[in-house]
Structure 1
């Protein structure tokens, strides 16, 4: 039982460590060659170099891509010289030996902000563009997605409170469970307590949320963001196991007390 409890605590520490080190590992995981290619490709879109843009497109897309379409896309870049370009998103997959990657960049000019996206596929040694887009933004993604309490709805605050309080409630319940005299299979109660049932997930920036009744969440809650440019996603689950334990605990305590009294009575008789 002690080894099992140590494993549970180690699992929690590893989860925290993984979250804390995500930003540190991010730069190391970004493929430099492919991200540079994607950045350069969007620069050609910005410069209206459509012959180059078409030359790197997936051949299946060429019939649907016209100069007029490309002009409309490039017009989403704000006017003026590009002051900065930041890579704000990177995702890479290898499925059945085929490399694919998605890259998102933020552009800042004197007259505004824009976000550009490029999807790539590697065929042999060549990189092919399978999708790309550009859209205007109301400001820096870091600023737009900054975690703040101002201007939020009641639901925002309820989900935030649940995200903070549910893990504390589960932790207190877990400690109480460990100290409670449970005659058989205490480890089942421990597993039931640390896993919440169902969850609500909320995008803190947009306020969009979804319910997942089949989700099991370790320690009942999570707060996750892919980077400083991405929105925070809060997850709060229902601590069913922790709640049920408090209803059962008086029975275990009473049973242990009765057993102790019975053993004391047997000792006195003997």
Structure 2
């Protein structure tokens, strides 16, 4: 059986077939901040990341809900901080919900969400978040249910920070060619012309309505071998982000300052517009990382 350790703030799940394969989740934000596969860390975590619940974690897989970025137009979302309140709330650990592959579950609702922030968003909801630890993969799945009598709108995003053991300059992202993009740095829309998206400067780019049948992969430039792979379910968009030199230097919780060389965010979500969830209905999505 899988081994599980729980403290007041952290849950660690170890795979039953390999004690070197594990996932560790902070209850604050239900943030996965470590995923080791056969002893090798797959996620990047800033050495200055706050794991005491004082602020969202810089690294791992923060959860973005119900707003992506800073919403300026929606009646209720505009009063929330950047990326909403899910990553700023203490989730309830519900235990193991599947023995193989071992899967744990966390829950967030209007009752345990951040009290100050939830005041701005007057809906009843339940989010069930499942984290499945495979022998060679990690799957994170979300079910969002509208418990209100009226519809509500939201965004969702898995803000995944991948660990790049080799230098960022030696990898590229594949699977985004010919996709519509919005560059968050220049504010310009374009179409991605490159089959190999290289990271050689600050990159902050949204890829919109990417066919979910298309796997997004991070590959080694020299060998074309797989570094990380991503399968998406019901997540039509993706953000590719690396802060590079100047941006890293300006973020107090980003350490070491040259950590940009060993991280790359490839973040699947639904952000090109707002999802409208009708009363008493459910919306589900997942990312499968391999």
TM-score normalised to structure 2 length = 0.23
Larger radius of gyration: 1
TM-score normalised to structure 1 length = 0.24
Higher relative contact order (CA 8 A, sep 6+): 2
Higher strand share: 2
